[in-house]
A and B are shown apart, each in its own frame.
Chain A
Amino acid sequence: MNPVNYLYLAALLFTIGATGVLIRRNAIVIFMCVELMLNACNLAFVTFSRMHGNLDGQIIAFFTMVVAAAEVVVGLAIIVTIFRSRHSASVDDAGLLKL
């Protein structure tokens, strides 16, 4: 098997995650889809690392995880704050800036 297949899988997962971001309204689910996209990227990085025979790709994937963790912390905090004030986790309801 050609390891390129991992990349195709990563692309597929990424696209599925992006589609989820676009069609779901629940902010938490959207967040999960974003995580899916990040994971797809990580898979691609790990695969690249294997293909190139060095560990830099894994390092990048590691950093991605760290950043994802930070992002999740802040993002979930924002979601909780919004939910507290608006009693809704739907991203379509948070349209205050629209005229």
Chain B
Amino acid sequence: MSGLAAASYLTSTGEAVQFWILAVVAVAGALGAVLMKKAVHSALCLAGTMIVLAVFYLANGAYFLGVVQIVVYTGAIMMLFLFVVMLVGVTAADSLKETIKGQRLLAGLCALGFGVLLTAGIANAALRDFDGLGQANAGGNVQGLAALLFTKYVFAFEITGALLITAAVGAMVLTHRERTGPAATQRELAERRVRGGKQLPPLPAPGVYARHNAVDIPGLLPDGTPSELTVNPTLRARGQIRDVSGEALAELAALEQRSEDWLERDKRRAGERTEEGAK
């Protein structure tokens, strides 16, 4: 960071070390975002990359942007992504098998060519003069940005305001569903349930008839079999249900054994009774 203050051609060694370590992390995160099967994992990888980028912003003297990157981008936008991922089905793992013939090959070729050309372009560019931001950030990075934003870029800034409002309205319009009839009242809903032959009382809570009350353990019916109704189908879909019916039956057997031990007399009497009966 200290190297930023003076205009110099090279950065400090510390920054170099930081760059080489974090660049690897960033690329790994980016590759993970592209290659992970589950969208949640992709999102997390991307969040990691973004945090690394935030660090790079800070290293490059863009303190405001670095903070915004973490707060807005990683904090807000990526969380929005996660929400949507949850909404559309967090369970579904994407198949990475390509269905369009030649798509992967073409994409690879284009990416290779593009990357090579871009790199070549950067290498070719005349980037000898390296000023550093010491002077520009002298009055504080945020103050400098603000001065530019509200003078030179004030119109663009205002227009982004309009853009954001439009986007907000657009999102509302897109997700809004027009109601075509009057909303059903509670009474109507209840009648519909009765007519439809659905379960009228509330569903049994998990573990009600078992001796556990965890949400992932289904309740047991009187005959000891687990009830489908007592656990969330999502958990079932994920395979996260613990079946405790066998355990419960074993416990029941143990209980009976204990009570028989305690009621040994009765057992004997019962045996006598049997003998008398035989006579």
Q: Which residues of A contact B (CB under 8 A)?
A: 1-9, 11-20, 22-26, 28-29, 31-33, 35-36, 39, 42-43, 46-47, 49-56, 58-59, 61-63, 65-74, 76-81, 83, 89, 92
Pick the contact of B171: A26, A59, A73 (CB < 8 A): A73
Q: Are A39 and B53 in contact (CB under 8 A)?
A: yes
Q: Which residues of B contact A (CB under 8 A)?
A: 4, 7, 9-11, 13, 15-16, 19, 23, 26-27, 30-31, 33-34, 39, 42-43, 46, 49-50, 53, 56-57, 60-62, 64-65, 68-69, 72-73, 76-77, 80-81, 84-85, 87-89, 94, 98-100, 103-104, 106-108, 110-111, 114-115, 118-119, 122, 127, 129-137, 141, 144-145, 148-149, 152-153, 156-157, 160, 163-164, 166-168, 170-172, 174-175
Q: Are A12 and B94 in contact (CB under 8 A)?
A: no
Residue of A nearest to B77 (CB): A72
Given that A22-B110, A46-B65, A67-B163 are known contacts, is A53 also in contact with B118, CB under 8 Å in the complex? no
Q: Are B84 and A28 in contact (CB under 8 A)?
A: yes
CB distance from B153 to the nearest CB of A (A): 6
Interface of A, helix, strand, loop or mixed by DSSP: helix
CB distance from A60 to the nearest CB of B (A): 9
Pick the contact of A50: B60, B87, B108 (CB < 8 A): B60
Residue of B nearest to A66 (CB): B160
Tell me, in angstroms, the Cα distance from A94 to B9 when the chains sit together: 50
Please count the residue pairs between chain A and chain B whose beta carbons lie under 8 angstroms apart in the complex. Answer: 238
Query: Other CB < 8 Å A-B pairs besides A16-B27, A23-B103, 19 of them?
Result: A1-B16, A9-B26, A16-B34, A23-B107, A25-B94, A28-B39, A29-B39, A29-B94, A42-B57, A55-B136, A58-B62, A61-B62, A61-B65, A65-B68, A66-B160, A69-B72, A69-B167, A71-B167, A92-B99
Q: Are B163 and A70 in contact (CB under 8 A)?
A: yes
Tell me, in angstroms, the Cα distance from A83 to B107 when the chains sit together: 26
Q: What are 18 A-B contacts defined by CB distance under 8 Å?
A: A2-B11, A3-B130, A4-B122, A15-B114, A20-B33, A22-B110, A28-B39, A28-B85, A33-B33, A51-B129, A53-B133, A55-B145, A55-B148, A65-B69, A66-B164, A70-B167, A80-B175, A92-B99
